[in-house]
Amino acid sequence: MIPTTEPFRDGPAIAIAWECLSNYTRDDAFTARLVLRNVSHHAIAPGWAICFNTCRKVLRDSVSTGFAVEHLNGDLFRLTMPGGGPWLPGQTHAVQYEALHWAISITDAPLGFYLEPGDGGPPVDLGDPEIAPFARPEQRHRMRGDLLPTADAAWRFEQNAALQLLPESAVGRITPKPVSAHFDGRRCLLSRHAPMGYERTLWNEASLLAAMLGSLPGIVPGGSGDILLEIGEVAGLAGNEAYLLDIEPGRVRIVGASAHGVFNGIQTLAQLLTPNGELPTGRVLDAPRFGYRGMMLDVARHFAGVTTVLRLLDCMASYKLNRFHFHLTDDEGWRLAIGALPELTAVGSRRGVAQDGISCLPPSFGSGADVDRSAGSGFYTASEFVTILRHAHARHIEVIPEFNMPGHARAAVVAMRERHRRLLAAGDVEGAEEYLLSDLDDSSTYESVQLWHDNVICIALPSSDRFIDTVVGEVCVLYREAGVPLRVIHTGGDEVPVGAWLGSPRCRALMAEKGWDVQDLHDDFIERCRAILARHGVEYAGWDETALKREGERMLPNPRFAGPDFHVYVWNNRWGSGQEDCAYRLANAGYDVVLSNAANLYFDLAYAKHPQEPGYYWAGFVGTRNAFGFCPLDAHAMPILDPMGHAPDRGVLDALQPLDAHGRARIRGIQGQLWGENARSRARLEYLALPRLIGLAERAWAADPLWQDIAAQEERAARVQHDWNEFANRLGQRELPRLDRARRPWDYRLPPPGAVAKDGLLHANVALPGLAVHYTVDGLDPSVHSPRYAAPVAVSDARVLKLATFDTRGRGSRIVTLNLDQP
């Protein structure tokens, strides 16, 4: 038999299965098994390798005898069989190994397998493995000390038990909740031809409103009401986003403190408007709590096309969010074309195994070997970026671009190294070094949180400053072309790994010359970046690490940069990090702060602890209620339990620093983060974003609910539960059905129902009252045609019950199965 890979070109040749065997191996390691079977009719030549991505670092000395696993870089690993012969048809290889941390969900499994044939042929994508169920306690818990229960059907039923379905009259009509809204029971009808009056400065808002009315009937009984848009004083409310919406039977009047205020009034009008053009008559007065209400989208880890970005901007605008933090670069991708530096996208936007002689980045997060079919490949041209800027600006959303540096910068470092190689080969030594981002003699040894060994810019090189200046200059040109102001650029600055720069002759020479340590070297780089931005008329923003310095074991505010032109986005409030009150300490120290707290506002984290729930969970599990229940100005508003299910240490809680009067004024607002590691498609992106984005909007816009001012714990808990019940009903009865009616409906997350079978009866409930739950008793999957649950159902003769939550268009949640034969 002649070994070959030719028959594998049109599909997988290897069946792959993966299972977590136990998370109880050690407190910070688990045991897993890979089973690989040659399902083709041909042998695979000796010397083959299987590559894959995993966020859990494999311990190389733990791999089964006869096999080896090599860590290549980042989350890319290679499995080989040293000295092995051909891989014969039907032959199975079982490989057991240990890896760091734990594996309790599908997100923890290795992804994106591809075969490197032993005959030297091109790589063959094999896809993702079949993942064995996480059934036993040692598979569902992170360690023996993990007390947090799995969010199974019984757990959900208990969590949902305090919720009640409210009558329509008790559910708010407007989200986020306005300052005041009163309706009198009459109605106003609008048609698509509603007469509209507005001043010239409101042409943009009038155009958007006209487009919104375009789906209404052309003729309505009694004729359409008139619409008047105007700018003026909104009595009793401060700020340029305030508005008055006044609806009478024959007229709609929106008065905004500015065009932005008018736009906000239009968004409220859209929520009140039925598909047939009916509006309740009444009066809404409204203004936001925070001036900064943001959403961050990471397109570096997985690329999101222009249409997806515009769609997200539309959703943000409908819930009155006004800042779009655009995370354009990271280790795994550079997504914006820069004319002076074409390698940034020619190399830095392509991920896979290059077959065309053009360098690219390695596969990450399961993106596979095929560069052109990879969800990790893609970038925005200058014209596409301008389109995004104009679309956002028309909706009063400020776009804040992020170019992450000096860490999280591997895409740029590799691209500029490729530029150096190309120009050096052409004999242009000076040109080759003009934008180089790495010290070619650097022997530093480090590993980033995402397992990269070469992802940090050499900040002692003048070429690094030149690179930043060139990128910033071109970005400014794009904003001017779009006719949009550029006020702030976010420079990242987080998670620089320990050990970076220590082996760089250039960095060591500069530190020796200046008498600096690494902190001084880093601070000088930040100062230079700040100065470059200032020369372009742009203010500086960065993650919390840019405003901190290490003192012993703690990271404390660095007084060097505090000021109104230095904006800090604080993400790390993970319990046990020592940074739980970092945002408040920075605000008290003079920094303007945007709260970006991971434990409440990281929408890439899993909604709940369940094996089938996608997302990370290093800072805990973040459901919609976590975003809704966030108390932005209360340092002590920590979760009742830490991520492992333990009660927080009272001593640590008591030591948290509260905001002082000046610090409270420096909290500019809050922002949700949608990191892209698990956003492999538009549907997954929308699932992760919604409905959490709506909870974020509620807390950013609506008035302070004052929960933190209620001293009695039971009374405070009751008030929070009351408010959550109303908001959950608002989502289930109003907002999610409204998303279903969109021209292109949203793939938001539908919460699986809670359910228990007790005394021959099925009891079920749902986390967002108003959503439908359908069930079957014959083992078939439920659909909208299955019986709808309304009250306990007799199921004493059933052996298998299946349930799911459904939206108004018939889309179902994850199916819940109850096996009544099992104890």
Q: Which residues of 336-357 are buried (b: 16+ CB within 10 A; e: fewer)?
A: bbbeebebbbbbbbbbbbeeee
Q: What does the DSSP assignment read for 781-810?
A: PP-TTSPBP-S-EE-TT-SEEEEEEE-TTS
Catalytic site residue from 248, 384, 495, 726: 495
- Residue 583: φ, ψ to 5°: -60, -40
What is the spatial distance between Cα 291 and Cα 296, in angstroms, rounded to a whole number?
Answer: 16
Is residue 662 pLDDT above 60, yes or no? yes
Q: Could you tell me the sign of the dihedral formed by the alpha carbons of 438, 443, 448, 451, in that order?
A: positive
Q: On the CB side of 598, how many CA atoms lie within 13 Å of its CA?
A: 22
Residue 571 structure tokens: 């993400």
CATH of 6-146, one of 3.90.220.20, 2.60.40.290, 2.60.40.730, 3.40.50.300: 2.60.40.290
Nearest 5°: the CA angle 711, 717, 721 is 145
Region(s) of the chain under CATH 3.30.379.10: 180-286
Contact status, residue 238 vs residue 281, Cβ threshold 8 Å:
no
pLDDT tens digit sequence for 464-505: 999 999 999 999 999 999 999 999 999 999 999 999 999 999
Residues in CB range of 374: below 8 A, 6 or more apart: 350, 351, 352, 363, 367, 368
CB 813 within 8 A of CB 805: yes
Sheet holding 130-131, edge to edge: 58-59, 92-100, 29-38, 14-26, 130-131
Amino acid at site 450: Q
**CA atoms of 153 and 158, how far apart (whole Å):** 9
From residue 674, alpha-carbon distances to 231, 598, 599 in Å are: 35, 10, 13
Q: How confident is the model at residue 676 (pLDDT cuts 50, 70, 90)?
A: very high
Our measurement of the distance from residue 218's CA atom to the centroid of its chain's CA atoms, rounded to an integer in Å, reads 40
Tokens of 288: 């936001």
- Percent helix / strand / coil, the chain, rounded to 5: 30, 25, 50
Using only C-alpha atoms, the chain has a radius of gyration, in whole angstroms, of 28
Instruction: Name the burial class of residue 235, with classes exposed (0-12), middle (13-18) and buried (19+) by CB atoms within 10 angstroms of its CB.
Output: exposed
Q: Residues 6 or more apart from 69 whose CB is under 8 A from it?
A: 58, 60, 63, 77, 78, 79, 80, 95, 97
Give the CA count within 13 Å in the CB-facing half-sphere of 176.
29
Query: Model confidence over 271-330: pLDDT tens digits?
Result: 999 999 999 999 999 999 999 999 999 999 999 999 999 999 999 999 999 999 999 999
pLDDT digits (tens, 9 = 90+) for 599-625: 999 999 999 999 999 999 999 999 999
pLDDT reading at 777 higher than 50: yes
Residues 82-101 have a mean pLDDT of: 96
Which amino acid makes up residue 605? L
List pLDDT tens digits, range 172-205: 999 999 999 999 999 999 999 999 999 999 999 9
Instruction: Grade residue 1 by pLDDT with cuts at 50, 70 and 90.
Output: very low
- DSSP-assigned states of every residue in 412-475: HHHHHHHHHHHHHHTT-HHHHTTT--S-TT-------TT--SS----TT-HHHHHHHHHHHHHH
Which pair of tokens denotes residue 171? Answer: 């559910």
For residue 154, give every residue at least 6 positions away whose Cβ sits within 8 Å of its Cβ, in sequence order, or none.
754, 755, 756
Look up residue 158 and give its two tokens: 């208990």
Collect all residues with Cβ–Cβ distance below 8 Å to 655 and sequence separation of at least 6. none
pLDDT at 542: 98
DSSP 566: E
Query: How far does CA 543 lie from the centroid of its chain?
Result: 16
Could you tell me if residue 286 is left (phi over 0), alpha (psi between -120 and 50 degrees) or otherwise beta? beta
Over 70: is that where the pLDDT of 639 sits? no
Question: Distance of alpha carbon 308 from its chain centroid, rounded?
Answer: 14
Q: What's the confidence (pLDDT) of residue 210?
A: 97
Give the helix ranges, DSSP H, for 142-232: 153-160, 203-213
Instruction: Please check the confidence at residue 557 and state whether its pLDDT lies above 70.
Output: yes
* Token output for 409: 């910068």
pLDDT of residue 551: 86
Cβ atoms 543, 595 nearer than 8 A: no
CATH architecture of 180-286: 2-Layer Sandwich (3.30)
Q: What is the mean pLDDT of the chain?
A: 95
CB 183 within 8 A of CB 246: no
What is the per-residue pLDDT across 432-465, written as a single tens digit (0 to 9) for each? 999 999 999 999 999 999 999 999 999 999 999 9
Note whether 362 and 72 are within 8 A (CB): yes
Q: Are 460 and 509 in contact (CB under 8 A)?
A: yes
Per the CB < 8 A criterion, the answer to whether 724 and 694 are in contact is no
| Nearest Cα residue to 122 out of 18, 51, 42 | 51
- Whether the per-residue pLDDT at 12 is higher than 60: the answer is no
- pLDDT of the residue at 638: 64
Collapse the DSSP code of 185 into the 3-class scheme (helix H, G, I; strand E, B; otherwise coil) and give the result: strand
In the CATH scheme, what is the code of domain 292-704? 3.20.20.80
Question: Which token pair is 55?
Answer: 């966020």
CA distance 761 to 763: 6
pTM of the full structure: 0.97
Coil, helix or strand at residue 503: coil
**CA–CA dist 252, 389 (Å, integer):** 30
CB 536 within 8 A of CB 567: no
Predicted local distance difference test score (pLDDT) of residue 2: 47
Q: Which residues fall within 8 angstroms of residue 382, CB to CB, at 6 or more apart?
A: 337, 339, 478, 481
Q: What are 677-728's pLDDT values in tens digits?
A: 999 999 999 999 999 999 999 999 999 999 989 989 899 999 999 999 999 9
Q: What is residue 713's predicted lDDT score, i.e. its pLDDT?
A: 87
Structure tokens at 540: 């500086």
Q: How far apart are the first and last CA of the chain?
A: 52
Q: How far apart are CA 257 and CA 235, in angstroms?
A: 10
722 neighbors 779 (Cβ within 8 angstroms): no
Task: Report CA dihedral (511, 517, 523, 525) to the nearest 10 degrees.
Answer: 30
Active site residue 6: no
- Asked if 436 and 423 touch (Cβ cutoff 8 Å), the reply is no
Nearest to 452 by CA among 26, 53, 34, 50: 53
Range(s) of the chain covered by CATH 2.60.40.290: 6-146
Angstrom distance (rounded) from CA 379 to CA 274: 39
Average pLDDT on 140-161 reads 96
pLDDT above 90: percentage of residues in the chain: 90
Quickly count: other Cβ atoms within 10 Å of residue 372's Cβ. 9
Using CB atoms within 10 Å of the CB of residue 401, give its burial: 0 to 12 exposed, 13 to 18 middle, 19+ buried. buried
SS3 777: coil
